[in-house]
Amino acid sequence: MFTRLLVANRGEIACRIMKTARRLGVHSIAVYTDPDRGQRHVSEAGEAWSIGETDGYLDIDRLIGVARDSGAEALHPGYGFLSENPALAEACVDAGLVFVGPPARASRIMGLKDSARSAMAAAGVPVSKGHAEASPDDAGLLEQALDIGFPVIIKAVAGGGGRGLRRVESEGDFPEALRSARREAQAAFGDGRMLIERFMASSRHVEIQVLADSHGTVLHLPERDCSVQRRWQKLIEESPAPGLSERLREEMGEAAVAAARAVDYRGAGTVEFIVADGAFSFIEMNTRLQVEHPVTEMITGIDLVEWQLRIAAGEVLTLRQDTIRSHGHAIEARLNAEDPSRDFLPSTGRIHHLRMPGESACLRVDSGIRNGVTVSRHYDSLLAKIIACGDDRDEAVSRLGEALGSVSILGVATNAGFLRNALENPEFREGAVDTGFLERITQQPQAVPRAVIAVAAMHFSGALDQGGFGDPWKSLAGWRLWGDDTGVMELAIDGRLHDVAVTVLGKGRCRIGDDVVEVIEHSGAALTLEAGCRILHLDLVVAGENVLVAWQGCSHVVSRRRHQATSGSAAGASGNVTAPLPGTVAAVNIAQGDTFRRGDVLVVLEAMKVEIAIRAEGAGTARTVTVQPGDRVEEGVILVTVAAPPSDPVPAGR
DSSP labels, 412-459:
S--SHHHHHHHHH-HHHHTT---TTHHHHS--PPPPPPHHHHHHHHHH
- Low-confidence stretches of the chain (pLDDT < 70) are 130-136, 442-445, 465-486, 562-574, 644-654
Domain boundaries, the chain: 4-100, 129-198, 204-440, 450-560, 577-643
Inter-CA distances, 72 with 7, 30, 53, 245, 400, Å = 10, 11, 22, 46, 38
What CATH number does domain 4-100 carry, 3.40.50.970, 3.40.50.20, 3.30.365.10, 3.40.50.620? 3.40.50.20
Q: How far apart are CA 330 and CA 297, in angstroms?
A: 9
pLDDT of residue 483: 43
Say if strands 27-32 and 4-7 run parallel, antiparallel, or are unpaired: parallel
Q: Which architecture, in CATH terms, is 450-560?
A: 2-Layer Sandwich (3.30)
| Topology given in CATH for the domain delimited by 129-198 | Dna Ligase; domain 1 (3.30.1490)
The single-letter code of the amino acid at 403 is: A
Question: Which helix (H) or strand (E) is 36 found in, with range?
Answer: none
Q: How far apart are CA 581 and CA 252, in angstroms?
A: 42
pTM (2 decimals)? 0.85
Q: How far apart are CA 54 and CA 368, in angstroms?
A: 17
Burial degree of 292 (CB within 10 A; 0-12, 13-18, 19+)? buried
User: So what CATH class is 577-643?
Assistant: mainly beta
| CATH topology identical between 129-198 and 577-643 | no
Question: Which helix (H) or strand (E) is 464 found in, with range?
Answer: none
Say if strands 601-607 and 610-615 run parallel, antiparallel, or are unpaired: antiparallel
pLDDT of residue 533: 85
pLDDT of residue 185: 87
Q: How far apart are CA 128 and CA 112, in angstroms?
A: 15
Closest residue by Cα to residue 300 from 284, 272, 320, 280: 320
Q: How far apart are CA 504 and CA 484, in angstroms?
A: 7
pLDDT of residue 252: 97
Q: How far apart are CA 82 and CA 88, in angstroms?
A: 7
Q: Please check whether the domain covering 204-440 is classified as CATH 2.40.10.10.
A: no
Phi, psi of 130, deg, nearest 5: -175, 175
Dihedral sign for Cα atoms in the order 342, 343, 349, 353: positive
pLDDT of residue 477: 45
Whether 331 and 295 have beta carbons less than 8 Å apart is answered as yes
SS (H, E, C) 475-531: CCCCEECCEECCEEEEEEECCEEEEEEEEEEECCEEEECCEEEEEEEEECCEEEEEE
Count H helices and E strands in the chain, helices first: 16, 41
Whether 492 and 531 have beta carbons less than 8 Å apart is answered as no
For 103-240, where are the E strands, in sequence order? 130-132, 152-160, 163-168, 194-198, 204-212, 218-230, 233-239
